[in-house]
């Protein structure tokens, strides 16, 4: 239950503090005074979105703080899972900042907005002044029926099963598409793999072949040059090695006379050894060098083949080899894809059975609930001045089923809501056939229909505080009194906060607050004041009589308020 609400710098509210009690709490005031602003502030406490537009002009922050008592067990469990321990009271504080650094506090400690969004529906349910318009959308009827029947958890399970089926079907479909595409490309891939394999390319091979070709092209020149070097160094009559060898003998004789020449002897002998090695190298190289037109032709053909592959695959030898590895992997992937397909098909079939089983179970329960809901709605509408109304919840056949096999069975279509469509039909006039509610209900009828539905739905839940923003829109007179009595009965088991323009409802309040707007020194201020008995009578009289309040209006107002107090 909401015991206290503090609002600061919110829209045209400077600072307001409300102490709320059990039963029916009514907010009244002139049009535009700011009654709905109070409910909007409570919307932030229940996890609504924050906008900088709500901050009062000239201020940097807006604050909404609420004190709750008497919590439902589901709320305690959610807070326990979030490691938030609460005892007898829960204080939620939300700060909206122009800088965008919005904050949420739970019992003095910071908490994420996500937690507030999660626990908010367990604390407060807000019934907006235009919520009855949801009845004009047939797709909302199924959700209302689930709410009445306590099937929301099963409906959530249905959504999860549907999501799992969608994921499994998408995986299987993508795998099939990829497999089919690769099958179509398999012959081409195999041709590429075989061509690259036959080419037997090696990293650095092209450079090596070019070097060998260059040698073959200049074989004669290399032969002559090496032969000439061999003659000069070793073989000829005037070869350098012979001449130096002879001089080396003489130099050793001289070194016997002058020992300092030994160093020159050593250097000369070392040079002779290197020259002899050079001559041997040139001789061996001369033996290897030969002009071979056939070998050169083979090299030219090999290089031409490499260049053809480079042009075809638009890359270097190394890039062609990488392509070959990639093609081989894709061919292996085809084999693996074929092996994985049965596993994906089994997963999809399991998800399909699970989703359809859940949908069929949920459908059976919905149809049971719909029979009871129909009877209860006719009773509720009777108490709201619509006696003799016929109400039905019909399950029409599904429309176009689509083409995806997992989501269609026997012409029935599966969605995240299950296999059902529900639409409300009614006839407000006895003896007249029922017709779709979305086509024939008037504004006043929509308000009462939604109030009846909410009365039934909320009776099944454990939300301690219910907010009604101008639920009386479009009604008046005797019907307004009946709606007031209905709100009073709901307030017997819930705390109800109601914004109203009708004196018939205001007179039934257990606690009555008036919202007033005034301009002080050119600045607008909205305040909220709890009314005592005398002020309550005056406010109800204002609502009855308008600007000029007659004695008759005052007497009537006093009778209405006292009748409620008995």
pLDDT at 125: 79
Lowest model confidence (mean pLDDT) among 131-145, 214-228, 295-309, 359-373: 214-228
Which of 47-51, 55-59, 488-492, 511-515 has maximum average pLDDT? 511-515
Per-residue confidence band for 459, with pLDDT thresholds at 50, 70 and 90: low
Inform me whether the pLDDT recorded for 349 exceeds 80.
yes
Higher pLDDT, 206 or 106: 106
**Residue 44 — pLDDT band, cuts 50, 70, 90?**
confident
Rounded Cα distance between 73 and 259, Å, is 114
Give the residue-averaged pLDDT of 517-539: 86
What's the confidence (pLDDT) of residue 288? 66
Residues 6+ apart with CB under 8 A from 120: 45, 46, 47, 48
Q: Which of 400, 556, 562, 514 is nearest to 16 (CA)?
A: 514
User: For residue 64, which of 23, 107, 95 has the smallest C-alpha distance?
Assistant: 95
Determine the Cα–Cα distance for residues 335 and 119; give it in Å rounded to an integer. Answer: 51
Q: Is 84 exposed, middle or buried (0-12, 13-18, 19+ CB in 10 A)?
A: middle
The sign one gets for the Cα dihedral 461, 465, 470, 476 is: positive
Mean pLDDT of 245-271: 82
Confidence band, pLDDT 50/70/90 cuts, at residue 547:
low
Q: What is the pLDDT of residue 375?
A: 92
Give the pLDDT score at 401: 44
Whether 473 has a pLDDT exceeding 80, the answer reads no
Query: What is the pLDDT, as a whole number, of residue 148?
Result: 86
Asked whether residue 280 carries a pLDDT value surpassing 90, the answer given is: no
Task: Give 476's pLDDT tier (boundaries 50, 70, 90).
Answer: low
pLDDT at residue number 295: 67
Whether domain 1-129+494-522 has CATH 3.40.50.300: the reply is yes
| 3-state SS assignment for residue 498 | strand
For 231-349, strand residue ranges (E) read none
| Nearest one of 146, 44, 147 to 103, comparing CA atoms | 44
Q: What are phi and psi of 286, to 5 degrees?
A: -65, -35
Beta-strand relationship, 89-97 and 103-106? antiparallel
In contact, 248 and 272? CB cutoff 8 Å: yes
- Arithmetic mean of pLDDT, 469-475: 67
Token readout for 154 is 């099963």
Handedness of CA 112, 114, 115, 119 (dihedral sign): positive
**Max avg pLDDT among 89-93, 233-237, 268-272:** 89-93
Q: Return the closest-CA partner of residue 179 out of 323, 330, 352, 351.
A: 330
pLDDT of residue 287 exceeding 70: no
DSSP letter, residue 258: -
Per-residue pLDDT, 24: 92
Q: Which residues pair with 119 in a beta bridge?
A: none
> Which H helix or E strand runs over 65?
strand 61-69
- Of 362, 230, 247, the closest CA to residue 289 belongs to 230
Output phi, psi for 402, to 5 deg.
90, -175
**CB of 498 within 8 A of CB of 471?**
yes
Contacts of 142 (CB under 8 A, 6+ apart): 366, 417, 420, 421, 422
What is the distance between the alpha carbons of residues 147 and 308, in angstroms, rounded to a whole number?
A: 72
Torsional sign, CA 225, 226, 228, 232: positive
86: three-class secondary structure by DSSP = coil
Torsion sign (Cα): 256, 259, 264, 270: positive
193-226 residue pLDDT tens: 777 777 777 787 777 777 777 666 666 676 677 6
Highest mean pLDDT among 329-343, 355-369, 515-529, 552-566: 355-369
Cα(168)–Cα(405) distance, integer angstroms: 13
Q: What is the pLDDT of residue 472?
A: 64
- Residue closest to 153 by CA, chosen among 424, 455, 358, 396: 358
Q: Is 496 helix (H, G, I), strand (E, B) or coil?
A: strand
Q: Is the pLDDT of residue 130 over 60?
A: no
b/e 420-448 (16+ beta carbons within 10 angstroms → b): bbbbbbbbbeeeeebeebbeebeebbbbb
289 pLDDT band (50/70/90 cuts)? low
> Is residue 24 classed exposed, middle or buried when 0-12, 13-18 and 19+ CB atoms within 10 A define those classes?
buried
pLDDT tens across 160-196, in order?
Answer: 999 999 999 999 988 888 777 777 776 677 777 777 7
Lowest mean pLDDT: which of 31-35, 290-294, 438-442? 290-294
- Provide the pLDDT confidence category of residue 491 given band limits of 50, 70 and 90: confident
Q: Where are the alpha helices (DSSP H) in 289-316?
A: 293-313
Calpha distance 520→529 (Å, rounded): 17
> 204: which DSSP letter?
T
Helix (H) or strand (E) holding 94: strand 89-97
List pLDDT tens digits, range 407-446.
887 778 898 999 998 999 988 888 889 898 888 877 667 7
Ranges of each domain in the chain: 1-129+494-522, 183-331
Q: What share of the chain in percent tops pLDDT 90?
A: 14
Q: Is 60 exceeded by the pLDDT of residue 400?
A: no
């Amino acid at each position: 239950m909401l015991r206290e609400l503090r609002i600061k710098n919110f829209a045209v509210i400077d600072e307001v503090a409300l102490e709320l009690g059990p039963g029916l709490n009514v907010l009244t005031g002139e049009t535009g005074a700011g009654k709905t602003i109070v409910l909007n502030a409570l919307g932030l406490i229940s996890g609504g979105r924050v906008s900088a537009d709500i901050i009062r002009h000239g201020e940097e922050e807006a604050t909404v703080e609420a004190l709750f008592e008497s919590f439902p067990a589901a709320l305690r469990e959610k807070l326990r899972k979030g490691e938030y321990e609460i005892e007898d009271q829960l204080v939620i504080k939300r700060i909206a900042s122009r800088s965008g650094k919005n904050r949420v506090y739970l019992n003095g400690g910071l908490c994420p907005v996500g937690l507030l969004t999660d626990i908010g529906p367990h604390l407060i349910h807000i019934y907006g002044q235009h919520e009855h318009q949801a009845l004009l959308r047939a797709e909302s009827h199924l959700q209302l029926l689930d709410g009445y029947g306590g099937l929301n958890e099963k409906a959530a399970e249905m959504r999860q099963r549907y999501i799992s089926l969608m994921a499994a079907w998408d995986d299987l479909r993508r795998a099939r598409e990829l497999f089919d595409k690769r099958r179509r490309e398999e012959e081409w891939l195999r041709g590429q793999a075989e061509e690259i394999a036959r080419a037997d390319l090696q990293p650095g091979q092209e450079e090596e072949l070019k070097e060998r070709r260059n040698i073959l092209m200049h074989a004669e020149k290399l032969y002559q040059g090496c032969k000439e070097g061999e003659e000069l160094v070793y073989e000829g009559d005037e070869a350098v090695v012979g001449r130096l060898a002879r001089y080396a003998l003489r130099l050793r004789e001289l070194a016997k006379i002058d020992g300092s020449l030994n160093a020159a002897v050593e250097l000369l002998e070392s040079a002779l050894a290197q020259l002899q090695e050079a001559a041997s190298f040139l001789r061996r190289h001369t033996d290897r060098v030969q002009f071979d037109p056939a070998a050169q032709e083979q090299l030219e053909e090999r290089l031409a083949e490499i260049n053809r592959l480079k042009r075809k695959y638009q890359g270097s030898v190394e890039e062609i080899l990488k392509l070959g590895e990639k093609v081989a992997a894709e061919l292996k992937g085809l084999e693996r894809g074929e092996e994985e397909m049965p596993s994906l098909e089994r997963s999809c079939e399991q998800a399909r059975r699970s989703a359809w089983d859940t949908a069929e179970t949920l459908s059976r329960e919905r149809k049971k609930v719909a029979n009871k809901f129909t009877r209860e709605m006719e009773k509720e509408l009777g108490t709201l001045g619509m006696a003799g109304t016929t109400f039905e919840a019909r399950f029409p056949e599904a429309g176009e089923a689509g083409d995806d096999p997992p989501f269609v069975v026997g012409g029935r279509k599966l969605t995240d809501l299950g296999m059902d469509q529900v639409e409300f039909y009614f006839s407000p006039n006895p003896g007249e056939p029922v017709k779709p509610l979305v086509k024939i209900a008037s504004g006043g009828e929509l308000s009462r229909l939604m109030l009846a539905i909410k009365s039934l739905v909320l009776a099944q839940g454990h939300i301690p505080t219910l907010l009604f923003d101008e639920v009386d829109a479009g009604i008046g007179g005797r019907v307004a009194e009946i709606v007031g009595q209905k709100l009073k009965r709901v307030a017997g088991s819930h705390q109800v906060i109601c914004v109203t323009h009708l004196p018939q409802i205001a007179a039934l309040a257990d606690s009555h607050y008036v919202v007033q707007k005034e301009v002080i020194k050119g600045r607008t201020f909205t305040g909220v004041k709890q009314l005592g008995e005398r002020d309550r009578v005056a406010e109800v009289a204002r609502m009855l009589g308008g600007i000029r309040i007659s004695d008759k209006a005052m007497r009537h107002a006093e009778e209405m308020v006292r009748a409620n107090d008995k």
